[in-house]
Amino acid sequence: MQKTSILIIYTGGTIGMVKNPRTGSLSPIDFDELYKLLPVLESYNYNIDRKSFDPLIDSSDMKPDFWIRIAQLIGENYEQYDGFVVLHGSDTMAYSSSVLSFLLENLSKPVVFTGSQLPLGVTRTDGLENFINAIEIAAAKVDNKPVVPEVSVYFENKLFRGNRVSKFNADSFQAFTSENFPPLAEAGVQIKYNQHYILKPNLKKLKVHQSLDSNVIILKLFPGIPQYAIDAVLNTKKLKAVILETFGSGNAPTDRDFLKSIEKAISNGLIIYNVTQCKGGHVEMGKYATSRKMLQLGVVSGHDITTEAAMAKLMFLLGQDLSIERVKELLEEPIRGEISK
């Protein structure tokens, strides 16, 4: 029987650091020594290969060009491997996993993002467990079909849909949350998969998109935000879309100047996407008077999408040469399981 093959894509990040025995400093892992560090991998009887970014990058430096490189690597190696594990810094992992979910259309194999809060070279590292379980999930099959054929994030015993997570804690091993969608799997003595929530594999040929438009910005509202600041954002040259982070279920100020600025921006072709600041819950425009006027002006509801997925979805859709009206329509529809509707 042919061995299951897994490709590890190492972009950088905390997980890939080990302590140099001579200097005591942390440096990127030498993947030729992987089995010495993690001898348990031998028991899986997998073929495990790796490709690394050169140079490696801190996840704070992640940007569209790097996302496209990851997607290209997966596309170029798609037929040779059963699953993919992307080692990535945790700070921007939710953005990257969200973007990849959109770039990889018709995905039918696992792409598991993982990382750690402590380097592999530290005694108490969470990286060992995260790494091993991510590989096992990427390799998991039932009746020779992958168990989780979508982009996901594995961190501290839980597997989440990649476009449903947010990083919410910088100090805890439980760094990620997915308030609006249940875990796809939970790891204990065994890995228990929640099959009902996992996307079904798409049998069409994988299409790797390679165009993103980053003319998007986030405007987070707060009580007393100056009108000049709002206008400065909405009048930014070349800007195509604004993620408006609103209060509660999509509420915003009702004063005349604010609404006039929103109306003018939309009439000038700017897309305004209403996304709640809350980690859980959803936008329900028109529920309160504070959001009803925005609905009438043409602000688009983000429903229960995360800010990270909203950014990823806008960059993706704006890069597809679609009309503004078509982009607005798709923003309110789940195209990769990113919203509940």
| Chain centroid to CA 214 | 16
pLDDT digits (tens, 9 = 90+) for 62-94: 999 999 999 999 999 999 999 999 999 889 999
pLDDT tops 70 at residue 34: no
Quote the pTM value. Answer: 0.93
Q: What percentage of the chain exceeds 70 in pLDDT?
A: 93
Q: What percentage of the chain exceeds 90 in pLDDT?
A: 66
pLDDT digits (tens, 9 = 90+) for 267-303: 999 999 999 999 899 998 877 767 788 999 999 999 9
- Contact by Cβ (8 Å): 49, 135: no
Say how many Å lie between the first and final Cα of the chain, rounded.
Answer: 42
Tokens standing for residue 167: 């990083």
Confidence of residue 20 (pLDDT cuts 50, 70, 90): low
- The mean pLDDT of the chain is 90
Point out the residues that are catalytic: 14
Element (H, E) at 72: helix 64-76
Pairing between β-strand 26-28 and β-strand 17-19 as defined by DSSP bridges:
antiparallel
Confidence of residue 55 (pLDDT cuts 50, 70, 90): confident
More confident residue, 169 or 297: 297
Residue 29: what pLDDT? 67
Residue 43: what pLDDT? 74
Residue 179: what pLDDT? 93
- How many Å apart are CA 38 and CA 133, to the nearest integer? 12
Q: What is the mean pLDDT of residues 163-190?
A: 89
pLDDT digits (tens, 9 = 90+) for 205-242: 999 999 999 999 999 999 999 999 999 999 999 999 99
Residue 202: what pLDDT? 79
Nearest residue to 195 (alpha-carbon basis) of 187, 204, 207, 185:
185
Domains and CATH numbers, the chain: 5-208 (3.40.50.1170), 216-331 (3.40.50.40)
pLDDT digits (tens, 9 = 90+) for 90-123: 899 999 999 999 999 999 999 999 988 887 767 7
pLDDT tops 70 at residue 170: yes
Q: How distant, in Å, are the alpha carbons of 233, 264, 327 from that of 268?
A: 14, 6, 15
